[in-house]
Amino acid sequence: GKNVLIVYAHQEPKSLNGSLKRVAVEELSKQGCSVTVSDLYAMQFEPRATRNDIVGFLHNSSEFNYGVEAWEAYKRGSLSKDLIEEQKKVQEADLLIFQFPLYWFSMPAIMKGWMDRVLVQGFAHEFPNCYDSGLLKNKLALFSFTTGGSEEMYAKGGISGDIRYLLWPMQHGIMHFCGVKVLAPHICFAPEYVSEEKRKEMLIAWAQRLKTLWKEEPINCSPDWYFK
């Protein structure tokens, strides 16, 4: 069986995001996958990258540089306990699913904080080992999220622009930079403005997709996919 890590950011278990997460756990477990969930709100995950992330002495105590200090701390095994735990989950995962509501054209702050703190240099990337040679190569990622706006609003000619533009920093700038191959996103448009019936259909569609997920080819991780 494969190992799956679901990084989940929603405050309400009864939300559509909560249901999408539950469907993923159920369906992937049925397939024999080992599924771990990092429920960021329930964990009260700290999104801020601070001095507290480094246990013990600093590499340079006269001027604090978070990137350098986190890198040095990673090398000597002295990152804070919560980061070591999350990195272990990432290390063991074949697939990372990020489940969240789109906030201001991006992921919620708590999830961005997870990216900032967990994906440190030395663990996820180390120049020139980035993009196709990033340190997390051989892993897959999938962004599954809900929007406030309708599908028409996020079409190429729509008021919000093509939804793919928004995915560039998340999929390409974070995941692909770390070497992760990216599967096509799973987007539930405007669930708050559709019928209960439609929301049920969204859950069924997600369950259906998960049944054949391992046969999917990753997207072509080039600017063309996002901006053509």
Q: Write phi, then psi, for 173 (nearest 5 degrees).
A: -70, -25
Q: For residue 55, which of 84, 80, 86 has the smallest C-alpha distance?
A: 80
Distance of alpha carbon 157 from alpha carbon 151, whole angstroms: 11
Cα(first)–Cα(last) distance of the chain, in Å?
A: 37
Quick one: pLDDT at residue 228? 83
The three-state secondary structure class of 42 is coil
Distance of alpha carbon 16 from alpha carbon 32, whole angstroms: 24
In the numeric block, which tokens belong to residue 30? 């049925």
In the numeric block, which tokens belong to residue 213? 């997920």
pTM score > 0.75 for this model?
yes
Quick one: pLDDT at residue 221? 86
In CATH terms, 3-227 corresponds, of 3.20.20.80, 3.50.30.50, 3.40.50.360, 3.10.180.10, to: 3.40.50.360
In the numeric block, which tokens belong to residue 18? 């909560």
The helix (H) or strand (E) run that includes residue 89 is helix 81-92
Angstrom CA distances, 8 to 12, 57, 90, 140, stand at: 11, 32, 14, 16
Quick one: pLDDT at residue 25? 98
Q: What is the pLDDT along the chain (228 residues), one digit of tens a residue?
A: 999 999 999 999 999 999 999 999 999 999 999 999 999 999 999 999 999 999 999 999 999 999 999 999 999 999 999 999 999 999 999 999 999 999 999 999 999 999 999 999 999 999 999 999 999 999 999 999 999 999 999 999 999 999 999 999 999 999 999 999 999 999 999 999 999 999 999 999 999 999 999 999 999 989 999 998
DSSP code per residue over 142-201: EEEEE-SS-TTTTSTTSTT--HHHHHIIIIIIIIGGGT-EEPPPEEE--GGGS-HHHHHH
Distance of alpha carbon 105 from alpha carbon 168, whole angstroms: 11
